[in-house]
Amino acid sequence: MIETNFDEVKVMYVRSDSGVRGGEKAFNMLESKLPDLKGRRFYGLIFGIPPDDEYRACAALEEEDDPLAMGLKVGIIPAGKYVQEKIIDWSKNLKKIGEVFRSLSQKYDVDHTRPNIEFYRSMKELLVKVPIN
C-alpha cells in the first residue's frame, strides 16, 4: 500500500440503485451508453459504508462527450491524499476488493467527506483508493 495524491477528475456516471451490490449492473448501463470503451478511464465511487452506501459507476469525462444526451449524470471525484493498494485479476477476486477497503480504512485516518475509489486501470488491474486526512 502506498500514499498518493489524486488530482480532481470530472466524470459522468450511473448511480446504482442498490449500492455496491449493484455495481456490475451500473457499469453495464454506463458502458451501454458510451460509443466506445477503448482508452476510457473507469472508476467506481463508494460513498458511505456498505450496505448503507451509494455507488456510482463512472467514466472520466472527455472533451467530445455529451453526457446529458447520453442520459448520464455529471460529477467530480475530489482531489486529495489517498492510500491505495493494487489488486491483480480483480474480476476473479471480487471479495478481495471489500477486504482491502476494510483493511485500509482500519489502518488510516479516513476522510469521510470524500468517496472511496475503485480505479480500473485495466481488465486485470484495479487500484483501491481510500481518502485519508
Q: What tens digit of pLDDT does each residue of 33-47 get?
A: 998 888 899 999 999
pLDDT tens sequence across 13-39 = 999 989 898 999 999 999 999 988 888
pLDDT above 80 (res 51)? no
Give the 3-state secondary structure of residue 48: strand
Scored b (16 or more CB within 10 A) or e, 87-104 reads: beebeeeeebbeebbeeb
Global pTM reads: 0.92
Listed residue (23, 9, 17, 15) closest to 97, CA to CA: 23
**Taking the CB of residue 13, how many other CB atoms lie within 10 A of it?**
22
Domains with residue ranges and CATH for the chain: 2-131 (3.20.80.10)
List residues bridging with 60 in a β-sheet.
11
Set of cell numbers at residue 115:
468517496
C-alpha–C-alpha distance, residues 15 and 119, integer Å:
16
